[in-house]
Amino acid sequence: MTEEKTAPATQRITLEMREPVRRILAAGNNDCAAQSFTSLFLWQEDMKLTICLREDAFAVRCGYWEGDCWFFPCGEREAVLRLVREILEACPRVRFLYLRPEDVSLLEEAFPDRFRVEHEDSASEYLYDREEYARMPGSRYQHIRWGINRLKRSHELRTEPLDARTADTARDLLSRWEPWGESAYFAPDHETAKQMLDHLRELGMTGVIVYVDGKPQAMAAGFPLSESSYDIAFSKALERERGLQFHVRRELIARLPDTYRIINGEEDLGIPGLRESKLQENPVGRIEMYSAYAR
C-alpha cells in the first residue's frame, strides 16, 4: 500500500509572525504586495488563508478557491524547493498563485514539464514613481490634475493623518461607504479595512483622511513593503468624483518619506474601470504575476 502524503501543516496568521515573514521576504528580495505579511494578515478571513512558517521559508494555503491552492512559497532557494516538493507530493494537482518571473524560472528549472504556467494579468501589480506621483508634472497627468483642481475650486479640502486619534472617524467613513458599479467586487474588504484600523500600529500602517467642506469623505492607507517601496492597500471615497479618489491617494503619497521611491498600487483584478484608473496614474512598471498548475 502506498503511503499517503500529507501537506505541510499550516496555522492561523498572527501578529507575532510579522517579523519572521518580513525577514524571509527581505532575504528573497520579494516586495510584492500579495505575499506581504500585512496583506496576508488582513485578508486571511476573506480568502481563508493559513500559513506554513519555517525558519527560512513560508507558504500560504488558500481555501478561497476549490481544490489545492497555495501561494507560491517564499524564502531561500532550497527551502522554497523543499516546500514545493512537499506540497506537490501531497497535492499532485496543486495550483500555485502569485509567482513572479524569477519564481517561474525556478519552478521550470527544478520541475521541467511538471507545471503549466499562465500569466495572470489581473493579479499583476502596478508600480508608480513616488516623486512623480506627488508632483504630477506634464501632460500625462493633465486629466488627474483637472479633476483634483476642479475639486479644490468647488470645495474646502483638509487632510488629517489616519492614526489612533482619527481611527473612529475612519470607521464611520467605512460604514457609510458603499460599493458601486463594477466595484461591487470589493464588498468583502469592508471587514478587512476594519481589521486594518484595529491594528494600525502593530502593522506599521500609515494613512490620511480627507475632509470635504468639513466632513470626512475619503481615506487612504498603506504600509512599507521594503526600505524603498510602499503599498497603497486601501483607498475609499464617498463622493463619486474620481478627482477625490486621486486626491486622497496623492495626499498619502506626498507625505511619505523620500526613502520610498516606488509605490505599489496593487492589482486591478481584471475590472475594466479599476484598470483604467490605474493606467491613468501612469505606472512606471508592473510586477508580473503568474499561476502554475501541476499536471
C-alpha 271/C-alpha 251 separation (Å) is 25
> Which residues, in sequence order, are CB contacts of 150 under 8 Å at separation 6+?
241, 243
Kindly give the residue spans of alpha helices, DSSP state H, lying in the chain.
18-27, 37-43, 77-90, 101-110, 130-135, 142-154, 167-176, 189-198, 200-203, 242-254, 272-280
Cα(first)–Cα(last) distance of the chain, in Å? 23
What b/e sequence results for 75-91 when a residue is b if at least 16 CB atoms lie within 10 Å of its CB, and e otherwise?
beeebbbbbbebbbeeb
Q: Which of 258, 168, 256 is nearest to 219 (CA)?
A: 168
pLDDT of residue 4: 65
C-alpha 119/C-alpha 99 separation (Å) is 9
C-alpha 128/C-alpha 260 separation (Å) is 11
pLDDT of residue 1: 45
DSSP conformational letter for 177: -
DSSP conformational letter for 213: T
Bridge partners (DSSP) listed for residue 128: 263
C-alpha 17/C-alpha 156 separation (Å) is 43
Q: What angle do CA 243, 168, 215 make, to 5 degrees?
A: 40
pLDDT of residue 295: 93
pLDDT of residue 184: 45
Q: Which of 111, 68, 127, 72 is nearest to 93 (CA)?
A: 68
pLDDT of residue 189: 59
How far is residue 21 CA from its own chain's centroid?
15
- How far are the Cα atoms of 61, 72, 195, 262, 294 from residue 69, in angstroms, in the given order? 6, 9, 24, 30, 11
Kindly give the confidence (pLDDT) of every residue in the chain, 295 residues in length, as a single tens digit, with 9 standing for 90 and above. Answer: 455 678 899 999 999 999 999 999 999 899 999 999 999 999 999 899 999 999 999 999 999 988 899 999 999 999 999 999 999 999 999 999 999 999 999 999 999 999 999 999 999 999 999 999 999 999 999 999 999 999 999 999 999 999 999 999 999 998 888 765 544 444 545 678 888 999 999 999 999 999 999 999 999 999 999 999 999 999 999 877 779 999 999 999 999 999 999 999 999 988 888 899 899 999 999 999 999 999 9
